[in-house]
Amino acid sequence: MDPLSLIPLATGILDLGKALVSARDEAKRIELVAQLNEKTLGMQMLAVQAFALADSLREDKAALLQEKQTLEDEVRALKDRRAELEEYVLHRLPTGAMVRRRYSLDEEPIEPPVYICANCAARGEVTFLQPQSSGVFLHCPAGHARIATGKRSPPPNRRIVARMV
């Protein structure tokens, strides 16, 4: 065997070795690309979930802000009603019935007196008592009571007819 004849054989073996290394590197590259694609897909799925959660949180926040505004409006209305009710003090009518009567800061009674139903006031409502039978009774429009005021009913309107003699 001629040593020069070994050179092409060695070159062939070297080429085969390079081809094997190259094939191994390509298989590794394919495996790494597959892993990268898998992780990228996982990251995209997490991003979609995060955006969905953010949308849900925005909707919840908007609902809570709306509820807060509604509650603030209710509190404001209750405070206004309470302030209005504080303008009335308990008052005993001559018959012993209890009503709430509007008072003035001057300590002078307001004429004509304004009465509200004590039952309605206890529930936080202002219901004006309406006079009936020429002021002999006060009537609650909410149907709580018909309260005698102690006034007497006026005499019937009679005409005196003079007789001609």
Q: Which pLDDT belongs to residue 164?
A: 47
CA torsion, ordered 124, 128, 129, 134, to nearest 10 deg? 170
Question: pLDDT tens digits for 70-114?
Answer: 999 999 998 988 888 888 777 788 877 778 777 766 666 666 777
Residue with tokens 């790494």: 32
Percent of the chain with pLDDT over 70: 81
Q: What is the DSSP letter of 157?
A: -
CA 91 to chain centre: 38
Question: pLDDT tens digits for 34-55?
Answer: 888 899 898 999 999 999 999 9
Enclosing H/E stretch for 99: strand 98-102
- Where do the domains of the chain lie? 1-85, 87-148
